[in-house]
Amino acid sequence: MTITPETKEKVFQLREQLQKAGYAYYVMDSPIMEDGVYDQLYRQLQDLETEYPELITADSPTQRVGDRPVTRFTSVKHNIPLYSLENAFNERELAKWSTRWQKQLETIPEFSYVCELKIDGSAIALTYENGILVRGATRGDGVTGEEITQNIRTIRTIPLKLNLDHLDNPPQRVEVRGEAFLPLNVFAAINQARSESGEALFANPRNAAAGTLRQLDAKIVAQRKLNFFAYTLHVENQAVSSQWESLELLQQMGFLVNPNRKLCNSLAEVEAYFHEWDTGRKTLPYMTDGVVVKLNDYQLQQQLGFTQKFPRWAIALKYPAEETPTIVKDMIVNVGRTGAVTPMAVMEPVQLAGTTVQRATLHNSDRVAELDIRVGDTVIIRKAGEIIPEVVRVLTDLRPTNTVPYQMPRDCPECSSPLIRPKTEAVTRCVNLSCPAILRGSIIHWASRNALDIKGLGEKMTILLLENNLVTSVADLYSLTVAQIASLERMGTKSAENLVKAIAESKNQTYDRLLYGLGIRYVGSTNAKILTENFSTIEELSQASFESIEAVYGIGAEIAQSVFEWVRIPANQILIRQLQDAGLEFSSASTTSTNKTDQIFSGKTFVITGTLPTLKRDEAKKLIEQAGGKVTGSISQKTDYLLLGENAGSKLAKAEQLAIAQLSEADLLNMLSIN
């Protein structure tokens, strides 16, 4: 097929427009076009590239995600080695480093330091040729790493094409180093989704970022929304004489550079910066564990050179992690609703990061073996990412003489069925679908707020129903009578009537909530919405091929395989029929619509903070979304409204700084015409 010059020009213009819009949105946090306009232009480019595949280029925005999953990663040698940094843990060690590098010089010129926050993520190396991204690799051992270009392309703050128009003599090759990381709100959302889908939680954002980068399926990487800060530039033939100038040039090229950097003229200024961010880092949307201090002048860096391990001209000044010792009293396992068996350490209660901690997850049997943790051991614990308690290490010198290595149980503690560890997984599982723990978890999940939202059906009531053999699946809930429930311990007629009513009302929930409530592995509330938008009935989903499920944007191979297998299990097919017979509608036709014609918040972004007078956050979020709005977790220039309750935190201060409109609950309800 002949390609006209007009078509080529159109593709070029679309690509340029989308690249500029992406840079403004993801790097500068200053959108230049509406999301809907971007989506339309993206679709135009996608359609043209589909029709004329020879016009596809490596820097096209459509190429961020699209390749098939790889089977393995290839080891590659870095063009320029990635050195580690020497660590300093206090001002005294920082001063020693300063004295040491100055002793390397006969005469000490004027100098300054560049201070940058040390991001707790994964270092990656990027190579550009003629302005186009050609390779992305993990740090590895600093000399060789793994080639992960397919995954790197999914990170929106990494440009596929550099902006070199402002340079008189654009370089043929550019090498960039930086840190890929997960923002805290994204990390929390990922863990929530993993919890909802029965997966083991990530211990901290750093581990989550590293695990994400090594996913074989780039679609999964794209879903996790990694971010990236660039901090090192290697480029020839450019008038760049300092680290500070390099950071400015990186920003001009299209990279996101940490805005909290500072040029310091003395060690005292460095120390002041360090102390300032020891407090300030707690309000940042990402994790930082220290400050990287570099001599600013490149000529001075070259004079000092490197030791065998470290550059002499840079050091990482680390913040002390909040850690505390405690004693392991017991080792137990918890069986989740998907059958996942998670080992846990039960410890002497200790205060950590403002809360009392007495349990810490050990994730899986591999982690237990790695730590060699035993009952009676003294262990060091910390809150990973200031969220999840984790065991850092075991103080074996304090180990009692009578301890024995912990062995994972061979049989399920809930049902005594043999436990199985699939070859491809690190998690041990109970596969007995009648296991009380699985059944209990399934019912609690079905009744949860984001699923069927059955008020009055919590853990205690679920246990009562199971102990009295009133339910054997979620379908049995819909045949419960007032008399049956009223006969239970501490249950009266009125409470029984309310519960039966709540169960009956749950029949009106939307198709996506029903699908989420089924507890299919990897299918959280977001993925459930995506699936129900693309498969209008459960029958259509049940008959869909693996390929057609995987082809849905936002659904990776792992999720598709899980859904494909689940809907084909006879017991699950029977469950769906039983639920349908009970009056639940697994179809888009059952989706309720309130004020669909009145999308007054279309295109508007909200952030909710504080405690609202009458509405729960989920209720407020639902109202906003029904009116066409979007609710996010953090304030930015893209935020239109801050919904403000009592005891608002740092979000209020940032909203005031950015002059973002503030709404009370009453303001919101008035705008929606709800009295």
Residues marked active site are found at 118
Other residues' Cβ atoms within 10 Å of the Cβ of residue 259: 9
Distance of alpha carbon 391 from alpha carbon 326, whole angstroms = 10
CB distance 546 to 560 below 8 Å: yes
CB distance 563 to 542 below 8 Å: no
Q: Token match 């339910």: residue?
A: 471
Burial class of 467 by CB neighbour count within 10 A (0 to 12, 13 to 18, 19+): exposed
Distance of alpha carbon 251 from alpha carbon 253, whole angstroms = 5
How many angstroms from the chain centroid is the CA of residue 447? 25
Burial class of 181 by CB neighbour count within 10 A (0 to 12, 13 to 18, 19+): buried
Q: How far apart are the first and last CA of the chain?
A: 61
Q: Is 380 helix (H, G, I), strand (E, B) or coil?
A: strand
Distance of alpha carbon 77 from alpha carbon 141, whole angstroms = 10
Q: Is 331 helix (H, G, I), strand (E, B) or coil?
A: strand
Amino acid sitting at position 46: Q
- Residue 668's H or E segment, with its range, is helix 665-671
Dig out the tokens for 102 from the structure. Answer: 């100055």
Question: Phi-psi bin for 395: left (phi > 0), alpha (psi -120 to 50), beta?
Answer: beta
Distance of alpha carbon 557 from alpha carbon 342, whole angstroms = 25
Dig out the tokens for 232 from the structure. Answer: 């090192």
- Residue 346's H or E segment, with its range, is strand 340-352
CB distance 142 to 84 below 8 Å: yes
Name 242's bridge partners. 297
Distances (CA, A) of 249 to 50, 238, 253: 35, 10, 6
CB distance 477 to 556 below 8 Å: no
Q: Is 492 helix (H, G, I), strand (E, B) or coil?
A: coil
Of 419, 476, 485, 474, the C-alpha closest to 442 is 474
Residue 34 phi/psi, 5° resolution?
-65, 150
Q: What is the largest CA-CA distance in the chain?
A: 93
Of 657, 658, 651, the C-alpha closest to 617 is 651
Name 330's bridge partners. 346
Distance of alpha carbon 555 from alpha carbon 565, whole angstroms = 15
CB distance 550 to 557 below 8 Å: yes
CB distance 197 to 109 below 8 Å: no
Distance of alpha carbon 4 from alpha carbon 48, whole angstroms = 12
Buried b / exposed e across 212-237, counting CB within 10 Å, b at 16+? Answer: bbebbbbbbbbbbbbbbbbbbbebee
Distances (CA, A) of 102 to 97, 312, 571, 655: 9, 10, 73, 45
